Structure formats: C-alpha cells, structure tokens
Amino acid sequence: MPAIESPAEKIRFDVFEVDLRAGELLKEGRKIKLQEQPFRVLFLLLQRRGEVVTRGQLRQELWPADTFVDFDHGLNSAVARLREALRDSAEKPCFIETVAKRGYRFIAPIQPNPEAPTVAASVAPQTSWRPRRGFWIGATIYLTVVCSISIWALYRPGRSTQLAKIEVVPLIGLRGYQATPAFSPDGTLVAFRQSDGGNNTGIYAAGVGGAKSIQLTNDPGDCCPVWSPDGRQIAFARYSGDSFSVFTIPALGGTERRLYRGPDHLGGGLSWSADGSVIAFTESHGSDPTRAWIAGLSLSDSSIREISSPSPGWIDRSPSYSPDGKRLAFIRSSVAGVSNDIYVMPTKGGRVKRLTFDHRPMTGSLAWTGDSREIVFASARGAEMGLWVVAADGGIPEPVAGPVGEAAWPTIPSKSDSTLVYEQNIGKADVWRLDLKDTKHPQKPPFALVSEKGDKMRPELSPDGKTVVFESDRLGFWDIWTCDLDGSRCDQITSLHGTAGRARWSPNGRYLAFEFHPNERSEIYIVEVPGGIPRLLPTISGSDNLSPSWSRDGKWIYFASKHGAEAFQIWKIPLQGGIPIRLTKNGGISPVESFDGHNLYYSKYEQNGVWRMPLQGGEESEVLRDIDSGAWPNWALTPEGIYFFKFGKFPHADLAFFDLASGKTHVVWPLQQRVGWGLSSSVDGKSLVYIQNQFAESNLMLVRNFR
C-alpha cells in the first residue's frame, strides 16, 4: 500500500482521527491523551501504512544517539502506550501489527478525507434481470437487521452523553487532611481518616447527602477503614511505633475491639469478605519486612491463614474482596515500592492471575464495581497519578472519566455502580535552602530555592555549591533535574519514561550517579552533566540496586542491593565497571563515605538509625538512633556531625544536628510545614537543602454517574 500522499492535516481510520497540525489523537471527536513519542510512532507508521517500519528506522527518526540510553525499552513503552490509546491488541491487532525481529506495520484502512474534493464514481449500465422470491425474503430480513442496528447506534448513550452526566463535587468541608475513604455497602455513608494536626484526628464517618460528620476514633495512627457487609461495623488499622493492629468499632460509634496485633510493614489497606467471616490485611514477619503477604483473619476463631504467596522481596498489599465473594484482588509491589501491579485470585484459593503489567507506582485501595466485573485503581501508568479501570478477567486498562487532580484510594458501594469517592491530593513541594552561621545556628531564615512546577524529592548540592540536583515529576514521569542556586536555568537531565531518582554528584561535579527503575528491578546509571547520555553501570543481576553514592576519590560507586529474601547490603564497584565487593554483613542502605575516607556511614532498611563501619575492616556501630528506618534519605553527613529531621507531632519537625564529638543533638531550625524526602549539606557545611511543602491538601471527592 502506498504511503500517504495527500497533504491533508487530518487522517482518519476506524473511529479515530489524527490531527497532524495540533498533534492530537481523537476518538469520535474526543481527545485521547497520548504522549509525544507514541504519537510520533503513530505518525511514522501512518506515513508508510501497509509497510514494515523497522526498529532501526524508528530509532533513527525518534531517538537519535545523543538523546536516549535505552532504545529498546523506550520503543516498547511507546508502542505499548499507543496500543493502549487505540484499544489495540498485540496478539490480535487491528491497527499496529508486530513483525517479529523487524518492526511494526500499520494495517488498518485509511478513510477518505471528507475535506478533500470528491470524484464522482462512474455508473455501470444496468443489466435486466428478475430476482427470485427467496432473494426478496433474504433482503427484507437483512434490511430489518441493518436498520435495527443503525437505530440502536443512533440512540444509544454515547461517550459525550455519559461525560455530560458526570458530576464531581467535594464530599465534605472539614479542615485538614481527609484520606483513605470507604463507602458503606448501601452508598449512604463514607468512612475516612481525618487529620488536622490537633484533636480532630482519627476515623470519621460522613453522610453522602451532606449530613454532619461523626468522629469514631481519636488516635493519629488510625487509618484505612472498611465496612462490614451488613454495614453495622467498621474495621480499621492502627499504626503505633513498630506495631500494626486491626480494630473494629460499631458504625455509629462505641467501644473499640482489637482483633490482631503484629509488626509494622509497608503494606496497607483492609478488606472485609462478602460473607462477613474474614478480614484480609497485609502481614509480615518482623525478622523479614521485605516480604509481606495477604492474610485472612477469621472472625469466628481469630485464626490467621496466609492467602497469597509472593516470592522473597515482594510485598502484597491493598486486598479487596469482590462483592459477589468469588475473587480477591491485591497489589504486588517491589520492596523499592516503584514497581506495582494488580493480581486477582479465587477466594477459595487457586491460580493467581496478573491483570496489569505496568511496573508503575500505585496508591491506595482497589475498588470493585458492584457487578464484580471491573476493578478501579489509582496508578501513575499515565505518568500522573490517576484512576483507571481494568476488567477482572483481564484486558487493557482505561482511564476513569471525572476525577480531577491527583486521584487515589477509590471506593465504590458494593450495591451500586454509578457512584465513586476518591482521595484528591493537591500540593506543591519546593526545594528549600538554609544557610548556616555555624553547625548549630542559622545565618538567616530558610527560603525556597527551587519553586518550579511539580513535586520534588531528594535534592543535593553540587561540590562547588552552585547547582542543586533533584528528582521531579513536573513533566509526568519522575526524572532528574538541575537548577542554578538562584532558581534559574533548570535543565532536565534524564527523560527515561520511568522512575529515576537519588542522584548524587561525583567529587569533581562532572557526573551524576542515580537509580532508575526500567521494569521490576532498579539499576544504577551514570550521566555526565550537562548533556551526557545516561549509561547503565552493571552491578548485580536480578537484584534491586539503588541508592548510589561516590567515594571521595571518585573511583568507586557505593550502592545498596537486595536479592530475593536477603536484606539490603552495601556494595561498592569501580566506576569503570568490574566485580562488586560486599561491605556490610548486617544490612545497609543509603551509604555515604566519611570526609576522611576512613569510614562508611549508612542506614538500614529494617532498623532505625545511622550506622558506621571502618572501610579497612571491622565491626559496625550505631551512631544515631533518632532516624526512622523508612527515612534513609533524610540525613546529611558533615565532618562534624549529622543533620537530620527530628519529627514531633504530625506535621511538625525540627531540623536538628547531631554532634559526633559530644553525642548531643541540637535543634537548628523548627519547621512549620510538612517536610518531604531528602536532606543534603554543601561540601563546606555552610548550606542545607531539603524538601518542604508550600501547601498540601487532601480532600474527598464524590463522582456521580462515572459509569
């Protein structure tokens, strides 16, 4: 088939239209979200429709040698997102055909351009003939069927009609944070977690019709309520120190009853079975918090059984029973928390089926539709965190119409399909700077250093103190960015269409080492700044390799690695590549070499604190206890001590300094706003950079007629 010859600005096929001037893909007149690279792939395939466009040709056109390090991953991702937008299948394609070991081919017919001049068709002379009676009977039946289908298609509810019916409104107007909503079975009440930093914290219940909210508990560690099938009770989780408990309470308030207590874990969410006999939750053993499974707590005899069986190094969380009681869905996450996908299994046990293959961040609960056919979930599969729906039997996820802003934690009444409540998160986190007079006293109040769009994490000042590097999602995906200290000249260092982070400067300031999550596992990459091509630094195959840092002479890269059931350990590898050398025996993450090159400081995934070990050999020792195990990027080493966040009552925290010589802690600056992930000190120790929220809100939004 020949290439497109017409200079038309719009190309039509099936129900789709490609607007070349606007760079948009439309379906039945509605714009379909499609990123730049997938759109360019579509354009090139349309230009040569019917022909094979090789992977090499696509690489030459779309990914020049100086722009992308992992071409295969980039092209596969672009084609996958293009197929998602077109609702196409790789196995039975209607539009994009994969030609094994060669490339891709566009196989759908192109519709005539209605804007182009039409040419009258020639009319053949009619032949006189006399149809038989059977022909008329068949023709009548055929026309009846065609007319019926046409009338149905004309008057059936269209996408635009459905969108016009959707209504999105706030559920309640309380101050503070409202999160983790859960619909009652009949859809009249919503339970949720409320926090305003004061006494109004705990589990609440509110009426959908605007009735006054009722406070059920008042513990700041309470979270994640779920309703019993009869709507009479609410189960919820309570986090306290290193423990996790499951409680129940009457739906209208009353006496709490604890059903379970165990070690804290990285999982979340509860689910009450349809027959009311079991509460599912995430369970782990304190000796190995890097593996967690879905467990079922029997309400009749308090026995616990393991429902799911993840491999070592995986965490199953957010269980959700289907309303018909036949299936259980859950999220399986890597220990790093970046790779997440949905699985479903029969309630009575059996084969576990994987529904998504995104390896992307997911937050909150899974919500079944009332007919038990689909699952709504919150995922960053479209770059931003939003709501998607996937068939419980498998298929391509679709975006959910209606939600506005960053959406998470969806919930749907088990007896209704048209109403949804979700957690809406709105906020802005900036990179802040605090200049110091000495180790314990600020020179002046802190100020916002980088206020560009998007969330930010884990900043670090360059060795010369003129540039700050950080990770940001301002363009959707988490990538590495740099900015000058006056906030000008912000450059995007990576564009890997995944999750990149924890960037650390080389001692000479020419390179950055960072972690990247291309699929299920994280890897270490090196990039020259500015304008370099990221390259993979091969470390330990089949493991999570992350949290890199440099030796003081710039010849070695330290990193943390975890394989299977093993704990994270600290390793080092030559910058030019080689055989990794293991350094720690008892676990370690977030390594930093001391300024004199004699010791290695690090955190532990499983324990609080900062630890130290001699690089020439010797036993480790604990240096500082006041750092949570989940806050390993939240400390900065200097020759004299360690800066860290000392947390008080949420959201208050102090920027503190631990003096290595005296062993005493001093408060440097009280922080009034909620702090984020990451803390760094300049080489000369005169400046600190960290993440702080400018503003943050968490609201509950009600969506009517979303289906």
The C-alpha angle 198, 624, 514, rounded to 5 degrees, equals 90
Q: How far is CA 153 from CA 109, 283, 648, in A?
A: 22, 50, 61
For residue 64, the model assigns a pLDDT of: 52
Residues 6+ apart with CB under 8 A from 637: 592, 594, 595, 601, 681
**pTM of the complete model:** 0.65
Count of structural domains, the chain: 2
CB 431 within 8 A of CB 468: yes
- Three-class secondary structure of residue 72 per DSSP: helix
Distance CA 280, CA 516 (A): 33
Where a domain ends, among 65, 85, 106?
106
pLDDT of the residue at 146: 38
**Residue 455 in domain:** yes
In a domain, 196, yes or no: no
Within a 10 A sphere around the Cβ of 106, how many other Cβ atoms? 24
Flag whether 297 is in a domain: no
Buried b (16+ CB within 10 A) or exposed e, 252-289: eeeebeebbebebbbbbbbbbbbeeebbbbbbbeeeeb
- Residue that finishes a domain, picked among 71, 106, 141: 106
- CATH number of the domain that 27 lies in? 1.10.10.10
- The reported pLDDT for the residue numbered 508 is 95
Burial of residue 386, with CB atoms counted within 10 A of its CB: 0-12 exposed, 13-18 middle, 19 or more buried: buried
Single-letter amino acid code for the residue at 174:
L
- Contact indicator for 607, 629 with CB cutoff of 8 Å: yes
pLDDT value for 329: 97
Query: CA 566 to CA 606: how far, in whole Å?
Result: 12
pLDDT for res 286: 62
* Whether the Cβ atoms of residue 378 and residue 362 lie closer than 8 Å to each other: yes
Query: Which tokens in the block code for residue 249?
Result: 């309470």
Question: Which CATH number does the domain housing residue 595 bear?
Answer: 2.120.10.30
Residue 16 lies in a domain: yes
> Do 399 and 416 touch, CB atoms closer than 8 A?
no
Residues of the chain with pLDDT under 70: 1-8, 63-73, 112-164, 197-199, 210-211, 265-267, 286-289, 382-384, 404-405, 487, 629-630, 649-651, 695-696
Cβ neighbours of residue 42 closer than 8 Å, sequence gap 6 or more: 18, 25, 34, 82
Query: Which SS3 state, helix, strand or coil, does residue 539 take?
Result: coil
Residue 141 lies in a domain: no
What was the pLDDT predicted at 411? 95
- pLDDT of 67: 42
Give the number of residues written for the chain: 707
In a domain, 254, yes or no: no
DSSP character string of 135-165: HHHHHHHHHHHHHHHHHHHHHSPPHHHHHHH
Residues β-bridged to residue 482 = 469, 491
Which DSSP category does 576 fall into?
T
Identity of residue 418:
S
- Of 106, 126, 160, the one marking the end of a domain is 106
Residue 362, domain member (yes or no): no
Sequence-distant (6+) residues with CB within 8 A of 399 are 33, 382, 386, 387, 388, 389
CA–CA distance, 704 with 707 (Å, rounded to integer):
8
Residue 304 included in any domain: no
Structural domain harbouring 571: 430-637+673-693
List, as one string, the DSSP characters of 292-330. EEEEEEETTT--EEE---PPTTEEEEEEEE-TTSSEEEE
Residue 3 three-state SS: coil
